[in-house]
RNA sequence: UCCCUUGUAGCUCAGUCGGCAGAGCAACGGACUGUUAAUCCGUGUGUCGGUGGUUCGAGCCCACCCGGGGGAGCCA
C-alpha cells in the first residue's frame, strides 16, 4: 500500500456537521487500536483513536481484506494502523458513522503479552510509572486536550485584552527572589569545587556568580509592564522545596500578567475575566472531554463550572475572613487569629463550605506577605489578593506592587534585603514610577480545577517531584 | 521535612494462629455474536520490594534500607 499524504483527523470524522460530506466516499484515517471485536459474520470491529478527540472511530474490517487473517486478526490494543475505507452510516447503536475498511496497513504491532496498557482499568499511580504510555488512555488524552485548551485560552485572552507576551528568563543570576527554595545551576565540577576562603568560589562559575532556575518571572515582568503597559509571561517555574502533596510540583507552568496603572480592583477583575474565559472555552470546545470528567472523575464538575460563569466572584477582605472563621464554630487544627496566615483548612472552609465557589481574599496583614506588595493607608495590611477555588485551594496569588520608592526601601530594610541586589528593580520606582499590579496562576492547578483530577502529578505530562525525574 | 499508610501473578487485591502461594481482571485457546469495557467455557502465571535477624519452619514476627499513596508545612 502506498502512503498518501491526506488523512482525516477522527475528531472530524465523528462530527456529523463536518463528516456528512464524506458519506459514501473513500477516506483515510491513522491512529492506534483501542479494541478489536471479531464477529463470525465475516468481519471485525476496530475502535481507532488518533488523539484528536475523546471518542473512537468504529472501523468495520471485512474478511475479504487480503491481510485479514494475517494482520487484522492479530491486531491488539495499542497497535498503530493506516486505514483506507468508505464512510457509512452505522446500523449499530453508539455511533452515527462508521468506516468500512478497504485496506488496512499495520505500521506497528503491540505485543499483548508485554504491552502494559490492556483493556482494563489501571490506577493513576500505576499509570504514572508508564508516563510514556498513559497519554494513550481515555483520562490522560482528555487531560491533555483540556490543558491545551487552557493554554490556548490564556494566549487568546491576554492578546484580546492588549497584553504583550514576554519571555522572562529561566536562569536567574540573582538569589534574591525569595519565593522559595531554588535549584542551583552550575557548570563547576561537582567532584572538585573551587574553594576560596572556605566557600565555593562562584566567580569561576559560568555566569561569574551563583545562578538558579527561576521561581517567578514577576520582577522581570514588572520591568516590561513599566514600559509596555500590559504584559504576561507563560513559562516553566521551579521550586526546590521538598513538597509531597497532591498540589505541588518541582517544575510547573505559571502565567503571570502584570499591568501598569492597574490597582488591586483592576487586578481582581482581570483575574475573574481570565478564569471565566478559560472555563467557558473548555466547556464549549472540550465538551466531550468535560462530559467524561463529569461522569467518571468528578460528578457535577460541569454544572459547578457553569454556575461559576453565571455569577460574580465573591470578594472578602482578610479581616472579614478571620471574622467568618472565628464565627464558624468549626474546630480547626490551627487556631485562627488576626495576623496569622490562613492554613489549608481555613481556605478550604471559606471556599468550599462558606462561599461554595471561587472567592477572592484581599488586604492581608503586611507581616505575612512579600516586601513588594503595596502598603495600605492603615499601615497594617497590604494590597495582596488570593483567589481560592473549591477542591484546589489557592489558584492565584497576586498583588498591587509598591510603587513608592521610600516605602519600598523601608520594607526591604525591614525584611533584611540589600538595596544593591535590587538596584534595577528600584530603578523602576526612581524613573517614571507607576501604580501597577499582577498575579500568578498555576496552570496545573487550573487543569485540576476544571477537570476535577485530584493529583497534580496527573495533569502535567511528565511530573517532577522530589525523588522523581524519570522520563 | 514531619505524621499516617502501603509494597504478594502483567494489573487490582485476599492470604486467619508462623506450617504446600490464592481470586478477579487482562493475556492465551475454543464457542457464540452488527459488536459497543460484548458474553460463555477452558489454560497459564510468582526474586511475596531489598538486606539481615528470630525460628525446626517466615508472605506473616524483629531491625535497617528502598519505593508508592494520603495528610501537614511551604506555595501556584
The CA–CA distances, whole Å, from A311 to A72, A161, A440 equal: 53, 21, 23
Provide CB contacts within 8 A for A264, sequence distance 6+. Answer: A362, A374, A383, A385, A399, A400, A437
pLDDT, tens digit, 9 for 90 and up, residues A226-250: 999 999 999 999 998 888 899 999 9
ipTM confidence score:
0.85
Provide CB contacts within 8 A for A240, sequence distance 6+. Answer: A180, A181, A182, A183, A250
Protein residue at shortest CA distance from C1' of B76: A442
Looking at residue A331, what is its pLDDT?
Answer: 86
Protein residue at shortest CA distance from C1' of B73: A243
Whole-angstrom distance, CA of residue A40 vs CA of residue A237: 56
Å between A129 CA and B48 C1'? 21
Residue A118 pLDDT > 90: no
Å between A47 CA and B36 C1'? 9
Looking at residue A270, what is its pLDDT?
Answer: 98
Helices (H), A297-367: 301-310, 318-327, 344-348
Band the pLDDT of A191: cuts 50, 70, 90: confident
Å between A391 CA and B63 C1'? 41
Band the pLDDT of A2: cuts 50, 70, 90: very low
Q: How far is CA A187 from the centre of its chain?
A: 31
Q: Of all nucleotides in the shown strands, which has a C1' nearest the CA of A370? A: B75
The CA–CA distances, whole Å, from A233 to A224, A237, A400 equal: 10, 11, 17
Residue A177 pLDDT > 60: no
Domain boundaries, chain A: 10-108, 134-164+258-458
Q: Of all nucleotides in the shown strands, which has a C1' nearest the CA of A249? A: B76
Band the pLDDT of A222: cuts 50, 70, 90: very high
Helix and strand numbers (H, E) in chain A are: 13, 18
Strands A97-108 and A57-62: parallel
Q: Of all nucleotides in the shown strands, which has a C1' nearest the CA of A56? A: B36
A409, containing H or E segment: helix A405-414
Please, which positions of strand B sit below 7 A from a protein CB?
1-2, 10-13, 25-28, 32-38, 67-76
Whether domain A10-108 has CATH 1.10.287.40: the reply is: no
Of A129-133, A287-291, A326-330, the range with the highest mean pLDDT is: A287-291
Å between A156 CA and B1 C1'? 41
pLDDT, tens digit, 9 for 90 and up, residues A432-443: 999 999 999 999
* Beta pairing partners, A359: A314, A388
Q: Of all nucleotides in the shown strands, which has a C1' nearest the CA of A256? A: B76
For residue A440, give the C-alpha cell: 500568578
Å between A60 CA and B12 C1'? 33
Q: Of all nucleotides in the shown strands, which has a C1' nearest the CA of A35? A: B37
Å between A110 CA and B23 C1'? 28
Q: Of all nucleotides in the shown strands, which has a C1' nearest the CA of A397? A: B76
pLDDT, tens digit, 9 for 90 and up, residues A52-65: 999 999 999 998 89
A449, containing H or E segment: helix A443-451
Whole-angstrom distance, CA of residue A382 vs CA of residue A397: 13
Band the pLDDT of A175: cuts 50, 70, 90: low
Average pLDDT value for chain A? 92
* Beta pairing partners, A441: A255, A396
* Beta pairing partners, A401: A373
Looking at residue A1, what is its pLDDT?
Answer: 44
Protein residue at shortest CA distance from C1' of B38: A37
Q: Which CATH architecture group holds A134-164+258-458?
A: 2-Layer Sandwich (3.30)
Å between A26 CA and B60 C1'? 63
Å between A121 CA and B24 C1'? 13
Amino acid at each position: 500500500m502506498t502512503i498518501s499524504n491526506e488523512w482525516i483527523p477522527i475528531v472530524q470524522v465523528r462530527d456529523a456537521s463536518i463528516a456528512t460530506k464524506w458519506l459514501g466516499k473513500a477516506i483515510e484515517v491513522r491512529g492506534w487500536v483501542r479494541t478489536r471485536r471479531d464477529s463470525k459474520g465475516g468481519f471485525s470491529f476496530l475502535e481507532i483513536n488518533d488523539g484528536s478527540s475523546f471518542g473512537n472511530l468504529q472501523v468495520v474490517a471485512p474478511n475479504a481484506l487480503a491481510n485479514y487473517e494475517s494482520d487484522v486478526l492479530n491486531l491488539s490494543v495499542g497497535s498503530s494502523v493506516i486505514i483506507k475505507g468508505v464512510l457509512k452510516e452505522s446500523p449499530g447503536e453508539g455511533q452515527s458513522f462508521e468506516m468500512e475498511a478497504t485496506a488496512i496497513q499495520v505500521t506497528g504491532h503491540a505485543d499483548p503479552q508485554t504491552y502494559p496498557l490492556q483493556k482494563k482499568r489501571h490506577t493513576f499511580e500505576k499509570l504514572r510509572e508508564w508516563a510514556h504510555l498513559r497519554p494513550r488512555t481515555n483520562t490522560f488524552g482528555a487531560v491533555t486536550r483540556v490543558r491545551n485548551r487552557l493554554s490556548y485560552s490564556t494566549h487568546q485572552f491576554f492578546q484580546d485584552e492588549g497584553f504583550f507576551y514576554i519571555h522572562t528568563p529561566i536562569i536567574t543570576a540573582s538569589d534574591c527572589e525569595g519565593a522559595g527554595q531554588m535549584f542551583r545551576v552550575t557548570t563547576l565540577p561537582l567532584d572538585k569545587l573551587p574553594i576560596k576562603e572556605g566557600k565555593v568560589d562562584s566567580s569561576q562559575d559560568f555566569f561569574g556568580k551563583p545562578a538558579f532556575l527561576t521561581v517567578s518571572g514577576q520582577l522581570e515582568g514588572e520591568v516590561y509592564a513599566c514600559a509596555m503597559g500590559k504584559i504576561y509571561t507563560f513559562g516553566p517555574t521551579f521550586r526546590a522545596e521538598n513538597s509531597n502533596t497532591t498540589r505541588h510540583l518541582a517544575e510547573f507552568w505559571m502565567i503571570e500578567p502584570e499591568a501598569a496603572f492597574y490597582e488591586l480592583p483592576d487586578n481582581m477583575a482581570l483575574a475573574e475575566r481570565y478564569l471565566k474565559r478559560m472555563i467557558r472555552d473548555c466547556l464549549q470546545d472540550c465538551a466531550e472531554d468535560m462530559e467524561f470528567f463529569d461522569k467518571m472523575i468528578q460528578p457535577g464538575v460541569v454544572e459547578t463550572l457553569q454556575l461559576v460563569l453565571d455569577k460574580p466572584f465573591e470578594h472578602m477582605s482578610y479581616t472579614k475572613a478571620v471574622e467568618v472563621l472565628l464565627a464558624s464554630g468549626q474546630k480547626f487544627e490551627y487556631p485562627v487569629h488576626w495576623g496569622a496566615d490562613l492554613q489549608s483548612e481555613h481556605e478550604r472552609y471559606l471556599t468550599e463550605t462558606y462561599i461554595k465557589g471561587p472567592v477572592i481574599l484581599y488586604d492581608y496583614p503586611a507581616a505575612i506577605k512579600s516586601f513588594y506588595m503595596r502598603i495600605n493607608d492603615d499601615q497594617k495590611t497590604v494590597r495582596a489578593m488570593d483567589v481560592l477555588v473549591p477542591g484546589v485551594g489557592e489558584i492565584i496569588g497576586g498583588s498591587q506592587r509598591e510603587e513608592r520608592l521610600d516605602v519600598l526601601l523601608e520594607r526591604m530594610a525591614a525584611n533584611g534585603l540589600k538595596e544593591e541586589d535590587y538596584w534595577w528593580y528600584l530603578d523602576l520606582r526612581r524613573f517614571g514610577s507607576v501604580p501597577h499590579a499582577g498575579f500568578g496562576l498555576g496552570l496545573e492547578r487550573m487543569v485540576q480545577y476544571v477537570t476535577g483530577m485530584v493529583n497534580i502529578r496527573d495533569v502535567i505530562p511528565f511530573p517532577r517531584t522530589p525523588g522523581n525525574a524519570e522520563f
